[in-house]
Amino acid sequence: MTSTRILTRRRLGTTSAHHAPARRRRRTRGFVQVASSVAAERLHLNSFGHAYMWFGAALIAVLFYLALAAQVTQSSYDIARLQDQQRQLIAEQDQLRYQEVTLHAPAQVQQQAAQSGMQRVAPVAYVPAQAVAIDLQAPAGAVGTDGTPLWQRYLGALFNKVGGTRDVLAAGRH
Amino acid sequence: MGARLRILALLLMAALLAGAVWARLAYWQVFRHVQLSSQAQAQYHELVELPAVRGVIFDRNLTQLVVNTTVYSAFVSPDQIAAVDRERVATGLSGVLSVDKAKVMQTLQSNSKFAYILRRFSKAKADQLRALKLPGVGLADESQRSYLPGITSGSSLAANLLGFANFDGQGRYGLEQYYQKELGGTAGYISSYRDLANREIILGTHTHQDPVNGSNLVLSLDANVQYQAEQALMDGVKKDNAESGSVLIMDPSTGGIVAWADYPSYDANNFNHTDSALFQDNVSSYLYEPGSVMKVVTLSGAMNQGAITPDTVINDPGVLNVGGFRIYDWDHRNHGNVNYSYVLAHSLNVGAMKAMLAEGHAACYSYLKGFGLTQPSGIDVAAETSVPFPSQDQMSDSQYATTSFGQGIGLNMVQMLSAVNVIANGGRYAPPHVVERIGTTINPLLLKPQRQVITAATAQQMTTMMEGVVQNGSGWSSRVKGFQNDQAGKTGTSQIPVNGQYTLDVWASFVGFLPAKHPKFTMLVVVRKPHYPGSDQNWTLNDGYLTAAPIWQKIAQQLVVDWRITPD
C-alpha cells in the first residue's frame, strides 16, 4: 500500500534535486590567523604588540638563517680541509707506489745483487747430443756374463730354497 | 600660445633626456649584454677542470714502467707579505727549496700579485714548507709521470720507446705520444659558484662531470731484458768508440717487441733539461742501409721462387758488371765456384746479385714487398720514418743490384727485423707491435692472421744457411755458449753515404735468432760509426762481426739464462 504521505514524500524527493538551495560554505580561518588572534586575545596585545611580535618572529628567522649559514660555512671549511687532506694522502700513496715500483726495477735489483756479491754467470755448457739411430729389430747380442762369485750364488740359492727372497742374488749383481 | 609652446618645449626636452637615458640603457643592456654578463659571471662562476688520471704502462710481466706521482710548485703573493716578514719568508724558501735567497727577496719586494718560486719539487720538500707556515706562500699540486731508473743516473729505462708526458699532460715521442688519446682519458669538470673569498658556495647550483681516466697499457716488452740490452749496448758502443747504437728484440711468433734500446739515451724524468736531439729514437725514426743482412731476404726470395737452392753453385769472380757499374765483393777477391750456403756464410755481394738476377726483377720486387720493406712497418710508436719506395718500373738495374746486398736502400730497424723474423716465424710476417693490451682490449694486430711470405720449407732452408753463418762464416763472434750449433745469424756492414759519396764510416749490424729450429727471440743490433781499435789502419775492423755481433752475443747469453732457453 502506498499512502498519500509516501507519495508526497516521493514527489518531494524527485523534485528536490532540481530545486535544492545552494549550499553555503563557511569560510575557515588559517592556523596562523587563529593562533595570532587567540594570542592577541589572551595576551591583550594592541597593534604595537602585533608589530613587535612580527618583528620578533622575523628576528628569530634571521638568526636561524644565520646559524644555518654559519653551519654551512663551517661544513665548507671542513670539506675543503678534508679535500686537502685527501690530496696529501693521495700524494703520499703515489710516492709509496713509486718507491715500491722502483724497488723492483731492474736497475735496483742489479744494484742490490751486486752489493750482495751476486753475479750473473753463464750457464754450464750444453752438450749437443749426436743423433743415434736405434734399430729395434737388431738381435739383442750375447748375454752378459755373470761375474758374481760362486759362493754368493750358492748362498743365494740356499736362501731361496729355505724360503727367502731372490733379492740377495739380485743385489749382488751390478 | 606662449604657455603651450613652453609645455611643448619642456615635453621635447624631457623626451630627449629620457631618450638619451633609454638609449644608454639599451646600449648597455642590449649591445653590451653578452660581454657584461660574461664578465659578471666570471666573478662568481667557476669552471674547475677535473683532470683524468693518465693510464700507466706495464711490461709483459706486469712490472710498472711508469708511475703517476704528485709534485708541488711553490708560489708567493708579494703584495700580501708584510715588509717585516720578507726576510723570514725568503730564508724559509731558500732553505727548503735551495733557491737563491737574494732572488727570492727581489721577488718579494716587487709587490706583484703572484710569482712562482720553484716548480715541480717533491712532497718531502712541500711538507717541510707547509710546516714553516710562511705568510703569503702557497703550494699548488700537479701530477707528474715518473719513469723507472735506467742504466745510468742520466737515463731512464726504455726512454726512447716510452717517450714522456710534458707538464701539460701531453705525450711526446714514443708510446706516450702514439697512445695519447688512450692514456690521457677525458677530463671532467665542476661548474660552481664562489664567494668573495673564493670559497665554493655549496648550496649554489652546480653541475659535475666525472673524468674518464686513461687506459693502462700492457706491453710485450720485458723490463729485465730491456735493462740488460741497454747495459750491453752501452758497453759495446763505448768499447767500439761508436757514435751510437740500437738493439731491437722481437718475439718471433707474435711480432711483439721484447726490448727496444738506444744509446745514448736520456732521462725522461728530466726531459725539460735534456738536449732535444736525444729524444729522437734511432730504432724507428732513423734510416740506415742494412748491408749484408739484406742477403737473407734476397736469397730467401730467390729460393722460394725456385731460382736457386742452398746447393746451387755459381761462379763468383769477385766482381759483376750491372747497369754499367762494376760491383765488387767486400774483399775484392775471386772466390771461384761456390754454392749459396757459402755465399751467405761469407757474405758475397756477387752471389746475392746473381740470385736476384736469377729470380728476376718482378719477383725480387714482390718479395721486397712481401717482407714488408716497401712500406712503413706500422709499428705503434710515434714518428716511424721511412722513405717512399720507388715503384717496380722506376728501379734501375743497378738499384736492384745494390738492393740485393742491402746498399742504396734506406730502412728503419723495425722494418729490417720484421723482415728477417719471417724466417724465424716459419715464413709468416708477424706485424711488429709494442702494445699487447689497451685496458682490457687485446691489440687487434694479435688477432689478425699473419701473411705467408715464403713457404715453411724455404724458411727452414734459410735457417740452415744462417746457422752456417754462425758455425762457418762471419757470425762466429756471436756464438752463445751452449747454442753454437743451434743459432742462426747474419752480419751486415754498410758504408754511410755523405753528399752522395760513400765514406769509410759504417753501419755495423748483426741479426739472428735462437734456438734456430724453434726460435724464442729474434734480435737486431746496429752500431753506428764504430771506430774499433786499429780500424784507422784497417777499416774492416769496424765490421758487424767485431762490433755488433759481440753485443748480440752478450744480450743473447743473458736472455738464455733469464728465459731458461735450452737448445733443441
For the residues of A98-166, what is the DSSP string, one character each? HHHHHHTSHHHHHHHHHHTT----PPPPP-PPPP----TTS---SPPPP---HHHHHHHHHHHHHT--S
Nearest CA distance, A124 vs chain B (angstrom): 8
B323 Cβ under 8 Å from any chain A Cβ: no
pLDDT in tens, A32-52: 778 777 776 777 777 888 888
Are A123 and B141 within 8 A, CB to CB?
no
For the residues of B477-544, what is the DSSP string, one character each? GGPPTT-TTS-EEEEEEEEEEETTEEEEEEEEEEEEEESSSS-SEEEEEEEES---TTTTT-GGGGSH
CA angle B523, B526, B530 (to 5 degrees): 145
B554: which 3 cell numbers?
752478450
Integer Cα distance of B376 and B287 in angstroms:
11
Residues B470 and B556 occupy one common structural domain: yes
Asked whether residue B165 is assigned to any structural domain, the reply reads: no
Pick the closest to residue B119 from B75, B69, B89, B81 (CA basis): B75
Nearest CA distance, B143 vs chain A (angstrom): 9
Cβ count within 10 A of residue B557: 21
H-only helix segments in B248-331: 294-304
Pick the closest to residue B294 from B548, B526, B493, B433 (CA basis): B493
Secondary structure (3-state) at A55: helix
> Which element (helix H / strand E) includes B119?
strand B115-121
Are A87 and B558 within 8 A, CB to CB?
no
Residues B235 and B91 occupy one common structural domain: no
Q: DSSP state, B251?
A: -
Residues B243 and B328 occupy one common structural domain: yes
Choosing from B96, B126, B147, the residue where a domain stops is: B147
Integer Cα distance of B15 and B19 in angstroms:
6
Residues B135 and B248 occupy one common structural domain: no
Say if residue A164's pLDDT is above 80.
no
Say if residue B461's pLDDT is above 90.
yes
Say if residue B398's pLDDT is above 50.
yes
Nearest CA distance, A106 vs chain B (angstrom): 6
Asked whether residue B274 is assigned to any structural domain, the reply reads: no
Asked whether residue B199 is assigned to any structural domain, the reply reads: no
Asked whether residue B191 is assigned to any structural domain, the reply reads: no
Which CATH number covers residue B76? 3.90.1310.10
Q: DSSP state, B64?
A: B
Residues B474 and B341 occupy one common structural domain: yes
Asked whether residue B23 is assigned to any structural domain, the reply reads: no
H-only helix segments in B305-409: 340-345, 349-359, 361-370, 397-404
Residues B321 and B460 occupy one common structural domain: yes
Residues B473 and B357 occupy one common structural domain: yes
The CA-atom distances, in angstroms, between B477 and each of B264, B484, B491, B535 are 24, 10, 10, 17
B199 Cβ under 8 Å from any chain A Cβ: yes
Q: Which of B148, B200, B567 sits opposite A76 (nearest CB)?
A: B200
Question: Do the beta carbons of residue B54 and residue B131 sit within 8 Å?
Answer: no
ipTM passes above 0.90: no
Residues B390 and B492 occupy one common structural domain: yes
Instruction: Label residue A24 by pLDDT band (50, 70, 90).
Output: low
Residues B352 and B235 occupy one common structural domain: yes
Provide mean pLDDT across the span B116-132: 90
Integer Cα distance of B178 and A111 in angstroms:
33
Are A91 and B64 within 8 A, CB to CB?
no
Integer Cα distance of A23 and B335 in angstroms:
131
Which CATH number covers residue B231? 3.40.710.10
Choosing from B147, B178, B204, the residue where a domain stops is: B147
Q: How many domains does one find in chain B? A: 2
Are A87 and B70 within 8 A, CB to CB?
yes
Residues B143 and B231 occupy one common structural domain: no
Asked whether residue B20 is assigned to any structural domain, the reply reads: no
**Containing domain of residue B311, as a range?**
223-269+282-562
Residue B20 has what pLDDT? 96
Choosing from B147, B164, B198, the residue where a domain stops is: B147
Asked whether residue B60 is assigned to any structural domain, the reply reads: no
pLDDT in tens, B507-556: 999 999 999 999 999 999 999 999 988 877 777 788 899 999 999 999 99
pLDDT in tens, B203-254: 556 678 899 999 999 999 999 999 999 999 999 999 999 999 999 999 999 9
Pick the closest to residue B525 from B473, B562, B561, B475 (CA basis): B475
Residues B416 and B554 occupy one common structural domain: yes
Integer Cα distance of A108 and A161 in angstroms:
72
Enumerate the β-bridge partners of residue B246: B262, B526
Question: Do the beta carbons of residue B523 and residue B247 sit within 8 Å?
Answer: yes
Q: Which of A105, A120, A125 sits opposite B157 (nearest CB)?
A: A105
Question: Do the beta carbons of residue B75 and residue B104 sit within 8 Å?
Answer: no
Are B70 and A79 within 8 A, CB to CB?
no
Q: Which of A92, A102, A125 sits opposite B482 (nearest CB)?
A: A125
Integer Cα distance of B173 and B154 in angstroms:
18
Are B482 and A106 within 8 A, CB to CB?
no
Integer Cα distance of B177 and B383 in angstroms:
9
Q: Which of B67, B70, B482 sits opposite A90 (nearest CB)?
A: B70
Say if residue A22's pLDDT is above 60.
no
A contact test, residue of B53, B60, B141, B196 with most A CBs within 10 A = B141
B490: which 3 cell numbers?
747474419
Residue A168 has what pLDDT? 39
Residue A30 has what pLDDT? 78
- Among chain B residues, the shortest Cα distance to A102 is held by B148
Pick the closest to residue B349 from B367, B383, B325 (CA basis): B325
- Residues belonging to chain A with any Cβ–Cβ distance to chain B shorter than 8 Å: 72-73, 75-76, 79-80, 87, 90-92, 94-95, 97-98, 101-102, 104-108, 110, 120, 122-126, 128
Residue A21 has what pLDDT? 53
For residue B518, with 0-12 CB atoms within 10 Å meaning exposed, 13-18 middle and 19 or more buried, which class applies? middle
Asked whether residue B355 is assigned to any structural domain, the reply reads: yes
Residues B403 and B308 occupy one common structural domain: yes
